[in-house]
Structure 1
């Protein structure tokens, strides 16, 4: 388990983030009777109808971007009630629009500045988390300037990654996506992270104490809000693609398999699903007890501990959740989704193999060399497998080793990378793609094969999140909601445009080819008889040529992944 989480750590946490974005406070506070929350400010001079949207219960003033003049961003639109006070650790509460109307008092509300991001965890003891706000359930909405006039534009809802521990949606900007394609709307979701989003103990089956998977429930409430309101921005609620990377990809996979389906989305984009375990509530009990003790809430019953945790200061809870992550005596250290028996009723890989998932067009892939169990930390394949998947027996691990004989690889490091990479990430396109193709012709897979440029903190050529760096203007996540962007060359920007064109073509038509760039090769569908995938690769020197190409998935990889998929239950993924 620890390896999968360490693998999600962007090595840029050690980068110099001086001068990057800091948290921006928003407007006056409001009193809910049990806690205060941060509200948006009235916008006294809203005169440009092109950048305002009337939702029926309140009108928001968006921001016309200076760098991208055909793009409007509406920052910090609430989709749920603030999860503060007695709502801490409880399921998402739908937005009380009457309260929002009353607080607005007839004023247009300013949505031109970014909202508070959710409280951050940390993977680095030298840079502790804790920044952010509990009052963070917002979406940022990116639209073409004339979206309202045209209407019925397809929508992409993006769920950010960050190990379910950290992430500020502003680190994944979409202005340049909208500027490239004026035919889509993009919604970026803020959701509760770390212990605030994924605290679990078996007693939560009685919601008096708390609720399971509240961070995932935040995301689902955002999708419901989109269904009800995106039409006012010019979007089509019947043409919604849910998309995510890393933890966001896990979330997307779970939304496809939860026991609560409905017309919340009609397509899915899944980038680098991390195949980490989804434990049971009982398996999370030691984590809960340790966390409560670290937060000085270890006395009494679970009910008394929860009362204490709800009254604890955010700084105490932040210290407690980071101490839990560093407690190597715990088999399960991650505050992340669990199999709760109600919303999540089984492991997603098993559900996919049985056909029990949303049958929607799917675009899915990973990077060429990603592994989420770093060799520097684990040193051996058995230690990496056991550390990542606690239920594996010695027999299971021996069976894994038989699938990866040293003679099949260039070196022992290459053997380690593939054996751990396939089990933690790289077999997911097969695990999800083949079942998907049995129901939906529009199933597309890729292998991203372009490294971050030299001296960019990557030790392995094409690692986890390298395509995110390319698609989002050279983005790096720092601690506590900070981020920075590397300058990109003209060739890199051209390649990014090629990727974005494929993605948004899929969002518009379920087919990445319909609106691809003319230079880009045709992307063929993936299925069991023909397991072909696009290799997304930058042409090193040209802005007018593509380096991408189609390849057949190697037979040996297919066989190994069949074995990995067969171990889904013991690996709990």
Structure 2
């Protein structure tokens, strides 16, 4: 295995590093591509070079609002010299939306946000190493409404394990990235799924340019959590599953709400247009879209949030557009219309998203197209008698379809297609959460040094206080980067951690086995992780739920 001795020694030393979360100023780092020179920054330790806010497409302003991203074109400077970009400062995140979930108006951020953050070992760009490094590309969470890549910073990953290049993608969110015009994009001068197309353009830029930053564009792993996990799945399914922009994928807690067709967004679109004062007698749909392009960000955010208050099922998600996506994700998976790559996927133990202890109300909130008879089928599948109470039954009935079953579907399918795949259950709660549950996104607190995200691109840091916490965080990162390097989470992991078995379909002693990721409770050299067999009831419930994919519209 390439660089194996070097990487193993680095991983063995990982537990001795102190927390590393900040940059100081700053020694410039220079990367020269075919068309431009980038000036980034060097970390305090001297091991990491970071390039903040590297543009990958033209700014989506004016007539480009609601359109597919335009590939970036650099113009040479005077005397046909290469242009120079200073990418040392942290860039603005994309416009955020809260959908008024806590009385907070969205709108923070900037439309000029089609950027990347690139974290690379300094030696990879200053010493011109002949061997290129594997690349991890991260798509952030946030329900396609919010999220700031700076909240999930990767400096400490590269600082501790400096043999990987990591890239984080910014993409348009909420009304700017996922509003749909119901008559179709050509008639309306509109591109559906613009935020997803941003991600796609970013991957094309990475494929073309990451070699200048020390990365190997033939060894790219795509990773994402929640809406990012959904995005990873969508990239595997896009255009009939024929992508060639990455070679492996990590999908964490795949977000799987009900998905609409473009035509089904008509009432939502018209409400937004009316609220933004873009509906006038004689206006065509193109006229309405052109009017929306002239509106201030605050006006559009007020319209977006008013629409959700009017109808909570009106969300800003990818849609079935007949071009990129011919059907909903699970239906396409069930048909095998997917790229075949090695997969690492899983979920947290208790994740769900419920507001009420009423199963029917919650199912209708997330899956409004679900027929009434199938609500009854859910109640039989998740009977209160098999759970502690109605609340727990409802939490499972929502949490499994919404977050927890897609990973099983994905690893079963990839294994069937001959790709080695791995599944996990994350079982360590975020210690800053109230209660006992291992909630959605719990792993992010551990992987990103105590980060909790807030509204409008904000985040707070609650640093680790125990050596065992740092040990567990290093264990997680080592598993993830082992998969990035070798397609196997066992290749370069820490001493003392259990072997993570590949998923096995069919029957046998290793059938349905997955890794349970948990913190060791004793000394810093102990792990709490272990291998389990996924319960037959949960396994069978996920199969039953997936058979209802066309009715759930997920």
Answer whether TM exceeds 0.5 for this pair.
yes
SS in 2 for 1:512: coil
Counting matched residue pairs gives: 519
1:6-405 to 2 correspondences below 5 Å: 51-66=29-44, 68-98=45-75, 106=82, 108-123=84-99, 124-148=101-125, 149-150=128-129, 151-206=131-186, 209-259=189-239, 261-299=242-280, 300-328=283-311, 332-372=313-353, 374=354, 377-405=355-383
8 Å CA contact 2:358–2:390 kept in 1: the answer is no
Measure the CA separation in 2 of the matches of 1:144 and 1:229.
16
Taking only aligned residues, the RMSD between alpha carbons, in angstroms, comes to 2.0
Measure the CA separation in 2 of the matches of 1:106 and 1:421.
51
1:5 aligns with none
1:12 aligns with none
Measure the CA separation in 1 of the matches of 2:277 and 2:210.
43
1:532 aligns with 513
SS in 2 for 1:224: helix
Deviation at 1:407, TM superposition (A): 2.3
8 Å CA contact 2:346–2:408 kept in 1: the answer is no
Deviation at 1:106, TM superposition (A): 5.0
Measure the CA separation in 2 of the matches of 1:392 and 1:428.
18
Deviation at 1:309, TM superposition (A): 0.3
Deviation at 1:488, TM superposition (A): 1.1
The range that moved more, 291-300 or 83-92, is 291-300
Deviation at 1:537, TM superposition (A): 0.6
1:465 aligns with 441
Structure 1 residues not aligned, in runs of 5+: 1-20, 22-44
The range that moved more, 104-113 or 462-471, is 104-113
Deviations along 1:270-314, one digit per CA (max 9) or x if unpaired, are 000111011111211111111111211122221111111000011
8 Å CA contact 2:39–2:86 kept in 1: the answer is yes
The range that moved more, 427-436 or 75-84, is 427-436
Deviation at 1:415, TM superposition (A): 1.7
Measure the CA separation in 2 of the matches of 1:325 and 1:81.
30
Deviation at 1:353, TM superposition (A): 2.1
2:406 corresponds to 1:428? yes
2:18 aligns with none
SS in 2 for 1:259: helix
Measure the CA separation in 1 of the matches of 2:67 and 2:185.
12
Measure the CA separation in 2 of the matches of 1:396 and 1:102.
67
8 Å CA contact 2:232–2:249 kept in 1: the answer is yes
Deviations along 1:317-370, one digit per CA (max 9) or x if unpaired, are 111112122223x6x311110000000111221222222111000000000001
Measure the CA separation in 2 of the matches of 1:553 and 1:47.
50
Structure 2 residues not aligned, in runs of 5+: 1-20
Deviation at 1:103, TM superposition (A): 12
Deviation at 1:527, TM superposition (A): 2.5
2:458 corresponds to 1:486? no
8 Å CA contact 2:35–2:82 kept in 1: the answer is no
Deviation at 1:205, TM superposition (A): 3.4
SS in 1 for 2:205: helix
SS in 2 for 1:77: strand
Deviations along 1:246-279, one digit per CA (max 9) or x if unpaired, are 1111100000001163320000000001110111
Measure the CA separation in 1 of the matches of 2:350 and 2:417.
29
Correspondence for 1:498 among 475, 494, 504: 475
Deviation at 1:405, TM superposition (A): 1.9
The structure 1 segments of at least 4 consecutive aligned residues displaced by more than 3 Å after TM superposition are 45-48, 100-108, 457-460
Measure the CA separation in 1 of the matches of 2:382 and 2:26.
63
With CA pairs under 8 Å and 6+ residues apart, which has the higher RCO, 1 or 2?
1
Measure the CA separation in 1 of the matches of 2:330 and 2:260.
14
